[in-house]
């Protein structure tokens, strides 16, 4: 969210165990007001720059106000209503706030509803009928519902007279002490920012360290590494470290402390600069290094309700010093003498001079990136080659399939032609047979007719002869009778 009077950006950082932690970065221009919101989660914030006022109320209690300045850390509980105003003087710095919202079993951050909601959304989420519970005229409700939604950050001029007319701010009892918790914190952070020649480390991760953080599950730390320095290898056994770079650039090396899955857990190194956010999960050994040309300053939040301190591998109280040296030598597969020489120089220093360490890590990181790029390129080429081979195989299969199909069609055509030829031959043969049969019948009939005719002729001849013979006999008989008569 960006307006003329300020901006708010956010990022979700995974802790690897409890899901994501929500971080917000608020910037208020001079003489601006962050409008009241209702908190949904425990909030711890650090004032990175500028000055202003914080006003808040918990569970319907009286509104409290406190002045804010660079280096302050404060905590607001879930259910609190708060708003902030930057310094009224235009020449002052912008008020910059880095905030984290906790995510625990007791106080779960719910992304769908966000870390907070505006008072307007809290009230106007109901319809007119339900808002009648306020027992105000309908035109008042209409005006409130019809009003345009204001941005989260507005100019503070409109309320300057109202603030001036208010009674003097109620100072938090803890602030009435001769040395306030904020002044105390500022002094501690100032010490961290000056430190020794190599740098300094300061942590608030115990409820007793700062009263404003009592009951919170968030701790705060700050590290200042001067030019060419390193925060020695260490790990947090209790919580995730979430850090924000305040100044300069640096290198962060994170080692994998597991041998179960090398593909998911591997050593990494990365470069960070001012404004960057990075996180290191619990148990992961890490080291931070500054470059030779500038200091490297970062602050962060520790996500734990328990008292805990980083475990430095090179200090006197390191776990390496507590183990039996013979056992330790066996673990490293080296001699006892080597282990003695390895542990002897440890003097308890946690921030060390390390000239060009960041530069060397940067070179290694770039080499790794180049190797990864080449490996990715090789994989892409291999995948492309396999894809081309697969396409060629498919084309060859399609070609062979086409050939088989054409051969099959040709075979079917030949078979069909052969069947047709056989049928034609069969029909021709049948036709010839029928003709022969017909011819045979015709010949037989002709023979029969001829035979009949011959028989008839013979019969006729025979009959003729018989008739002639009868005629001759009759004639002879007639002649005989005539003779006898005569």
CB 236 within 8 A of CB 312: no
The Cα–Cα gap between 280 and 234 comes to 11
Winning range, highest mean pLDDT, from 132-146, 188-202, 343-357, 390-404: 390-404
User: What is the chain's mean pLDDT, rounded?
Assistant: 78
Over residues 442-465, the pLDDT tens digits come to: 666 666 666 766 666 676 666 666
Q: At 79, is the secondary structure helix, strand, or coil?
A: coil
Over residues 271-310, the pLDDT tens digits come to: 999 999 998 888 888 999 999 999 999 998 887 656 666 7
Comparison of pLDDT for 137 and 163, the residue scoring more: 137
Domains annotated for the chain, with CATH where assigned, are: 2-172 (2.60.120.10)
> C-alpha angle 381/383/388, rounded to 5°?
90
Whether 201 shows a pLDDT value over 50: the answer reads: yes
Phi, psi of 149, deg, nearest 5: -65, 125
Whether 98 shows a pLDDT value over 90: the answer reads: yes
Range in 71-75, 297-301, 436-440 with the lowest mean pLDDT: 436-440
DSSP assignment of 118-179 equals EHHHHHHTS-HHHHGGG---HHHHHHHHHSPPPPSEEESHHHHHHHHHSPPP-B-GGGGSSS
Whether the model pTM is above 0.85: no
Q: At 24, is the secondary structure helix, strand, or coil?
A: strand
pLDDT band at 147 (very low <50, low <70, confident <90, very high): confident
Q: At 255, is the secondary structure helix, strand, or coil?
A: coil
């Amino acid at each position: 969210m960006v307006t003329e009077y300020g901006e708010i950006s956010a990022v979700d950082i995974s802790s690897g165990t409890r899901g994501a932690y929500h971080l917000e970065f608020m910037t208020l221009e001079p003489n601006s007001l962050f409008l009241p919101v209702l908190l949904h989660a425990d909030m711890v914030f650090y004032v990175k720059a500028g000055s202003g006022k914080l006003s808040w109320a918990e569970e319907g209690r009286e509104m409290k106000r406190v002045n804010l300045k660079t280096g302050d850390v404060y905590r607001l509980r879930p259910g609190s209503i708060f708003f902030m105003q930057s310094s009224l003087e235009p020449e002052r710095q912008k008020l910059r706030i880095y905030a984290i919202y906790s995510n625990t079993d007791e106080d779960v951050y719910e992304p769908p509803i966000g870390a907070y909601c505006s008072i307007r959304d809290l009230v106007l989420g109901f319809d007119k009928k339900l808002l009648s519970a306020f027992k105000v005229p309908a035109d008042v409700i209409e005006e409130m519902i019809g009003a345009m939604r204001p941005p989260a950050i507005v100019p503070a001029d409109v309320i300057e007279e109202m603030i001036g007319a208010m009674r003097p701010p109620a100072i938090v009892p803890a602030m009435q002490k001769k040395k306030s918790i904020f002044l105390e914190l500022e002094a501690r952070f100032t010490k961290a920012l000056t430190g020794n020649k190599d740098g300094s480390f300061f942590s608030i991760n115990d409820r007793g360290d700062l009263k404003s953080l009592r009951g919170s599950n968030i701790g705060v730390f700050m590290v200042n590494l001067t030019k060419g320095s390193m925060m020695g290898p260490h790990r947090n056994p209790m919580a995730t470290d979430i850090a924000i770079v305040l100044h300069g650039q640096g290198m962060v090396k994170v080692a994998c402390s597991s041998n179960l899955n090398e593909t998911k857990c591997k050593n990494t190194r990365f470069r960070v600069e001012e404004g960057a956010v990075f996180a290191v999960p619990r148990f992961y050994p890490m080291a931070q290094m500054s470059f030779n040309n500038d200091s490297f300053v970062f602050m962060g939040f520790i996500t734990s309700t328990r008292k805990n301190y980083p475990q430095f591998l090179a200090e006197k109280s390191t776990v390496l010093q507590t183990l039996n040296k013979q056992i330790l030598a066996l673990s490293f597969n080296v001699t006892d003498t080597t282990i003695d020489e390895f542990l002897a120089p440890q003097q308890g220093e946690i921030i060390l001079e390390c000239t060009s360490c960041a530069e060397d890590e940067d070179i290694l990181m770039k080499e790794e990136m180049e190797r990864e790029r080449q490996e990715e390129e090789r994989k892409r080429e291999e995948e492309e080659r396999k894809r081309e081979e697969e396409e060629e195989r498919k084309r060859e299969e399609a070609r062979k399939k086409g050939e088989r199909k054409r051969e099959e069609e040709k075979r079917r055509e030949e078979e069909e032609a052969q069947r047709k030829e056989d049928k034609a031959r069969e029909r021709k043969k049948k036709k010839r047979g029928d003709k022969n049969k017909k011819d045979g019948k015709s010949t037989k009939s002709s023979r029969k007719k001829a035979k009949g005719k011959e028989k008839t002729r013979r019969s006729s001849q025979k009959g003729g002869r018989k008739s002639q013979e009868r005629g001759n006999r009759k004639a002879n008989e007639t002649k005989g009778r005539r003779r006898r008569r005569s």
